[in-house]
Amino acid sequence: MSSSDVSIPSQTPKQPDSTPTKPAPTRNNRRLHERIANNSDILICCQDKKGVERRIRARAINTSKAGILVQSDESIRAGTVVCLQAANLTFIGKACVRYSTPKGLKFRLGLYVPDRLTRTL
């Protein structure tokens, strides 16, 4: 075999890293605050596009430090500011609708409650 018969690769193969790469941790629960299960009736008061006041019965599903998840027969547009009352008509506070998602024949509403009066639920 002569030296012209031997071919030398132009690049040396890359050596594998000695430290294996770890996959990025997945975050299943993205919530900042713990959710506490709840099952109480509330009344949501809001105005429609024409300024007519609506009263919607809903059921609180869970509460957290920053909001309430409720189930309602009606949808409310995201961004709407609503007033919340407990079943005994005690004022709970104001909330902002973050989302409204259909769930079967009902809707799940995510309410952001900046007032910390949700302890009354």
Looking from the CA of 39 toward its CB, the CA atoms found within 13 Å total: 0
Token pair 């869970």: residue: 62
Question: What confidence score (pLDDT) does residue 51 get?
Answer: 86
**What are 49-87's pLDDT values in tens digits?**
888 899 999 999 998 888 899 999 999 999 999 999 988
Question: What confidence score (pLDDT) does residue 84 get?
Answer: 92
- Domains of the chain plus CATH, in order, are 36-120 (2.40.10.220)
- Asked if pLDDT for residue 111 goes beyond 90, the answer is yes
Q: Which residue has the higher pLDDT, 103 or 5?
A: 103
Q: What is the 3-state secondary structure (H, E, C) of the chain?
A: CCCCCCCCCCCCCCCCCCCCCCCCCCCCCCCCCCCEEEEEEEEEEEECCCCCEEEEEEEEEEECCCEEEEEECCCCCCCCEEEEEECCCCEEEEEEEEEEEEECCEEEEEEECCCCCHHHC
Q: Are the C-beta atoms of residues 89 and 44 closer than 8 Å to each other? A: no
**For the stretch 5-23, what's the b/e string if a residue is b when 16 or more beta carbons lie within 10 angstroms of its beta carbon?**
eeeeeeeeeeeeeeeeeee
Q: Provide mean pLDDT across the span 15-27.
A: 56
